[in-house]
């Protein structure tokens, strides 16, 4: 691990790292010049495909493959949406890239647009990133001045505009078709797929949606080549024909009960233990860990015994988690009650469900009502079964909802209760000694305010 040199975060310690001057002084826009100077869009698609790059936004879909789903020889327009809605609890790597090294993202975005023949890109950024907004806008302006954007970029005949588009504080705008609906000026209700955005996306035209960190990786692949990218990370599991491998550097976000929270770059496939010990300085206050979120709250939970889990695309799934997600690790120490953890998680999803699918709308708010009741000392053993029933039936995976927010709501329920059942049962029995065996319907508690 120690001989790994950061690439994505290589320059962020410079005070002026967000400026074009600093970016160009460290080799910035050479990749773009190389691409526009002699490669065809197909060459770039092939390059990215052969690098094995998988999307960093949460689903881990192979980027080059996604680009090939666009219709061939389409007369245009093709749109590119850069997903900078980053709202998955625990996740902040896109913010760091945009604040500290926005040109890296933009160079990757321009190359990605060239590869996909997109001539308009919308940079969809969540509202709560005022500094990133300012820095990216400045960087885009600098690119127009330098001729990296606009008409006939660097004399190549290729033209591209990038427009920033500001969100309005809704997690669901990060789901790619929710983003598209939001961009069109509507409520951010995810679309039923197919058709996938590559076939029919924003303004009913073919559309690519990629994450900010994915774009940054594309820039480095253009600079250093596919072989370099493949020399980092984890090879596909030979026993699993569907594993596409986990190549490249990754930005891990580390927060919660950790000595040194932060965003750390490491090869895909370091373990939770390595991340905590070698980067995070250990659990805070000399305490022990109880569990950790492996990749944003939607991914579920690893118990402290499972911290040898490799943080690659195939890793967390082996421990019953949903996946690697955003690689945002949130560490929870031994003093935390799982009831409090699950209450917080349920509160998030009940608040952020867009309300379109009944199982998600009702399931997330029902789960929160039960967690309110359990937390208030009125819980029943039956509630634990009901929570699991909700968890097992909620999401795209069981086939009951339109988008993956619901799977993300389900996983913390399933993992927390299955992995910490004894603790939940003991809590319910202790706090509700007279009523924990009740199995008849019980009334909802009054909403408890913040006081």
Of 175 and 274, the one with the shorter C-beta distance to ligand SF4 is: 175
Query: 8 and 216 in contact (C-beta within 8 Å)?
Result: yes
Instruction: Examine residue 172 and tell whether it contacts ligand SF4 (CB under 6 A).
Output: yes
> In the bound complex, which residue of the shown chain has the CB atom lying closest to ligand SF4?
360
Contacting residue, 108, 167, 174, 190, with ligand SF4 by CB under 6 A: 190
176 binds, among another protein, ligand FMN, ligand SF4, none (CB under 5 to 8 A by kind): ligand FMN
Among 124, 117, 111, which Cα is nearest to 154's? Answer: 111
- Tokens at 204, concatenated: 């009913």
Instruction: Examine residue 132 and tell whether it contacts ligand SF4 (CB under 6 A).
Output: no
Burial, 319: exposed, middle or buried (Cβ in 10 Å; 0-12, 13-18, 19+)?
buried
Quote the CA–CA distance of 213 and 109 in Å, as a whole number: 10
Contacting residue, 262, 281, 317, 377, with another protein by CB under 8 A: 262
User: Least distance (Å) from another protein to the CB of residue 360?
Assistant: 15
- Tokens at 347, concatenated: 């509160």
- Pairing between β-strand 120-125 and β-strand 289-293 as defined by DSSP bridges: unpaired
Instruction: Examine residue 420 and tell whether it contacts another protein (CB under 8 A).
Output: no
Contacting residue, 82, 405, 413, 416, with ligand SF4 by CB under 6 A: 405
User: Least distance (Å) from ligand FMN to the CB of residue 146?
Assistant: 26
CB atoms within 10 A of CB 318: 11
Instruction: Examine residue 355 and tell whether it contacts ligand SF4 (CB under 6 A).
Output: yes
Of 166 and 421, the one with the shorter C-beta distance to another protein is: 166
Quote the CA–CA distance of 186 and 184 in Å, as a whole number: 6
Contacting residue, 106, 188, 226, 309, with another protein by CB under 8 A: 188
Q: Which of residues 113-132 bind another protein (CB under 8 A)?
A: 126-131
Q: Which of residues 295-354 bind ligand SF4 (CB under 6 A)?
A: 353-354
Quote the CA–CA distance of 91 and 100 in Å, as a whole number: 16
User: Least distance (Å) from another protein to the CB of residue 259?
Assistant: 12
Query: 280 and 331 in contact (C-beta within 8 Å)?
Result: yes
174 binds, among another protein, ligand FMN, ligand SF4, none (CB under 5 to 8 A by kind): ligand FMN
450 binds, among another protein, ligand SF4, ligand FMN, none (CB under 5 to 8 A by kind): another protein
Query: 192 and 402 in contact (C-beta within 8 Å)?
Result: yes
Quote the CA–CA distance of 219 and 233 in Å, as a whole number: 18
Instruction: Examine residue 360 and tell whether it contacts ligand SF4 (CB under 6 A).
Output: yes
Instruction: Examine residue 89 and tell whether it contacts another protein (CB under 8 A).
Output: yes
CA 213 to chain centre: 9
Tell me the three state secondary structure of residue 298. Answer: helix
Which region holds residue 123: left if phi is over 0, alpha if psi is between -120 and 50, else beta? beta
402 binds, among another protein, ligand SF4, ligand FMN, none (CB under 5 to 8 A by kind): ligand SF4
Query: 189-228 mask for another protein (x: CB under 8 A)?
Result: --------------x-------------------------
Of 52 and 178, the one with the shorter C-beta distance to another protein is: 178
Tell me the three state secondary structure of residue 214. Answer: helix
- Tokens at 78, concatenated: 């093709």
User: Least distance (Å) from ligand SF4 to the CB of residue 39?
Assistant: 38
Instruction: Examine residue 78 and tell whether it contacts ligand SF4 (CB under 6 A).
Output: no
361 binds, among ligand SF4, another protein, ligand FMN, none (CB under 5 to 8 A by kind): ligand SF4
Among 307, 294, 312, 308, which Cα is nearest to 235's? Answer: 312
- Tokens at 52, concatenated: 């094995």
Quote the CA–CA distance of 359 and 370 in Å, as a whole number: 16
State the virtual CA torsion across 245, 248, 117, 142 in degrees, nearest 10: 160
Residues contributing to the site for another protein (CB under 8 A):
77, 86-92, 94-95, 126-131, 161, 163, 165-171, 182-188, 203, 253-257, 261-263, 293, 297, 328, 330, 332-333, 336, 340-341, 344-345, 347-348, 351-352, 354, 449-451
């Amino acid at each position: 691990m120690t001989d790994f040199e950061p690439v994505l975060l290589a320059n962020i310690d410079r005070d002026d790292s967000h400026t074009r001057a600093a970016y160009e002084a460290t080799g910035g826009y050479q990749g773009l010049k190389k691409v526009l100077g002699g490669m065809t869009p197909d060459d770039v698609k092939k390059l990215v495909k052969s690098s094995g790059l998988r999307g960093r936004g949460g689903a881990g879909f192979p980027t080059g493959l996604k680009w090939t789903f666009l219709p061939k020889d389409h007369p245009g327009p093709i749109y590119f949406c850069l997903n900078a809605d980053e709202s998955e609890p625990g996740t902040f790597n896109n913010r760091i890239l945009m604040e500290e090294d926005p040109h890296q993202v933009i160079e990757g975005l321009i190359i990605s647009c060239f590869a996909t023949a997109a001539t308009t890109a919308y940079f969809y950024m969540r509202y709560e990133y005022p500094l990133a907004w300012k820095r990216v806008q400045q960087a885009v302006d600098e690119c127009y001045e330098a001729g990296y954007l606009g008409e006939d970029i660097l004399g190549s005949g290729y033209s591209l505009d990038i427009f920033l588009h500001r969100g309005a504080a809704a997690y669901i705008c990060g789901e790619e078709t929710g983003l598209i609906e939001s961009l069109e000026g509507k409520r951010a209700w995810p679309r039923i797929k197919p058709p996938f955005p590559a076939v029919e996306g924003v303004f009913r035209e073919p559309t690519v949606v990629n994450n900010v960190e994915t774009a940054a990786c594309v820039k480095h692949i253009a600079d250093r080549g596919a072989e370099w990218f493949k020399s980092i990370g984890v090879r596909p599991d030979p026993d699993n024909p569907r594993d596409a491998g986990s190549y490249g550097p990754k930005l891990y976000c580390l927060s919660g009960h950790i000595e040194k929270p932060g965003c750390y770059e490491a090869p895909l496939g370091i373990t939770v233990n390595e991340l905590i010990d070698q980067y995070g300085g250990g659990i805070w206050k000399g305490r022990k860990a109880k569990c950790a979120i492996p990749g944003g709250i939607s991914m579920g939970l690893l118990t402290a015994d499972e911290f040898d889990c490799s943080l690659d695309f195939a890793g967390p799934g082996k421990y019953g988690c949903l996946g690697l997600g955003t690689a945002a690790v949130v560490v929870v120490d031994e003093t935390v009650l799982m009831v409090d953890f699950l209450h917080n998680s349920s509160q998030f999803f009940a608040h952020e469900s867009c309300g379109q699918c009944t199982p998600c709308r009702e399931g997330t708010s029902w789960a929160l009502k039960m967690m309110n009741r359990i937390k208030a000392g009125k819980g029943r053993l039956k509630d634990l079964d009901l929570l699991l029933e909700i968890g097992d039936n909620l999401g795209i995976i069981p086939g009951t909802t339109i988008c993956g927010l619901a799977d993300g709501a389900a996983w913390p329920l399933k993992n927390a209760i299955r992995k910490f059942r004894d603790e939940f049962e003991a809590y319910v029995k202790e706090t509700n000694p007279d009523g924990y065996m009740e199995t008849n319907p019980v009334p909802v508690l009054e909403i408890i305010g913040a006081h």
